[in-house]
Amino acid sequence: MKAIQYRSYGDYSENRLVELPRPQLLEGEVLVQMRTVGINPLDNTFRSGHIYLATPQNLPRIGGQTGAGAVVETKSEAFKVGDRVFVRASGFGLVADGTWREFVPVPAATLSRIPDAVDDDYAAAYLAGAGYLTGYLALTELASFKPGQAVLAPAIGSAVGMETVQVARRLGASLVISTAGNTQKAKRARADGYEHVIDLSTESLKDGVLRITDGRGVDVVVDGVSGRVTGQALASLAFGGTVVIAGYAGGRDAEVNVTDIIWKAATVRGFTFRLFAPETVAAANAALLAYLEEGRLQPTISKVFPMSEAAEAVRYLIEDRPFGRVLMHAQH
């Protein structure tokens, strides 16, 4: 079978197309023929060696944390051949071989069925950036979000930004604000129904939030950008507000005015999946799947590449700042 594997930590070109044996199944596992797989910025962080998990013991590694496929062989009663399934399992693409291959052996307990109305590409987009799960857990578990509150999730084109906005709307936020790094992206977002998008090429984040909220600020920020956004996000908070920091697409270093923390009695929380019990994550996934089936979530696809172009696909996600998820077709 074809797979995308890297044998050392390095630049995009380490994502190499290789030929490997088709995997054998263990008891309780299901063999899934992957159709569409997702790319997540963490795949890039990991392959470039910029994370504590990136050790020589974790090489070689097949990348990819998520995807959509169909069952072709099963050693579990829970799934039959032909079932369409969401694929994601703990450590996939990081400390265990992942989804960027034609066939993936998966513990049945980690699989769930894809609703008939959701095609393979949208199913893969739903999982790709983990933005829905991040947004939901950040709001409900870390920020004690309540309906009626105002939420800011910067970077409307991104997984964390766009998907948190959708989740916050579904959870009953009074107002949901995001940002775009350029005017073209801001226009595209507004055309897609995202009403409050601050164009950061013409207005600062703080000024935009204060304008939209009539000077009050937002109750919750869920941020995957950091860097220069962090100080502005704290400055955009209402009294008693919470900033949940999930990622650092815009930089690891931030400068903050500490009076924004002190005078607003602000809470700053770091988001990592390690915080949550498996039951909490399972309940979040069930709630999100129900929202998806209701049509209240809109997974958005920027571009689908053939898996043979994995190096370019990852570069595109990281450098071109697309509007929506970046996917690969696993079959040729």
Task: Provide the binding-site residues for ligand NAP, judged by CB under 6 A.
Answer: 41-42, 45, 129-131, 134, 155, 157-161, 180-181, 185, 224-225, 246-250, 271-273, 317, 321
Closest separation in Å from C-beta 308 to ligand NAP:
22
Closest separation in Å from C-beta 64 to ligand NAP:
14
Closest separation in Å from C-beta 155 to ligand NAP:
4
Closest separation in Å from C-beta 316 to ligand NAP:
10
Pairing of strands 196-199, 150-152: unpaired
Give the nearer residue to ligand NAP in terms of CB position, either 159 or 235.
159
Give the nearer residue to ligand NAP in terms of CB position, either 171 or 222.
222
What is the C-alpha R_g of the chain?
A: 20
**Amino acid in the structure at residue 188:** R
Q: Find the helix packing angle between 228-235 and 205-212, rounded to 10°.
A: 30
Give the nearer residue to ligand NAP in terms of CB position, either 69 or 250.
250
Give the nearer residue to ligand NAP in terms of CB position, either 96 or 275.
275
Closest separation in Å from C-beta 269 to ligand NAP:
11
Nearest residue to 100 (alpha-carbon basis) of 159, 180, 44: 44
Give the nearer residue to ligand NAP in terms of CB position, either 69 or 157.
157
Give the nearer residue to ligand NAP in terms of CB position, either 23 or 154.
154
Distance between CA atoms of residues 250 and 230, nearest Å: 10
Distance between CA atoms of residues 273 and 65, nearest Å: 14
Cβ distance 120 to 84 under 8 Å? yes
Give the nearer residue to ligand NAP in terms of CB position, either 74 or 166.
166
Give the nearer residue to ligand NAP in terms of CB position, either 129 or 217.
129
Closest separation in Å from C-beta 148 to ligand NAP:
26
Closest separation in Å from C-beta 48 to ligand NAP:
12
Pairing of strands 103-107, 150-152: unpaired
Which residue is nearest to ligand NAP, using beta carbons?
247
Closest separation in Å from C-beta 72 to ligand NAP:
30
Give the nearer residue to ligand NAP in terms of CB position, either 3 or 130.
130
Closest separation in Å from C-beta 75 to ligand NAP:
31
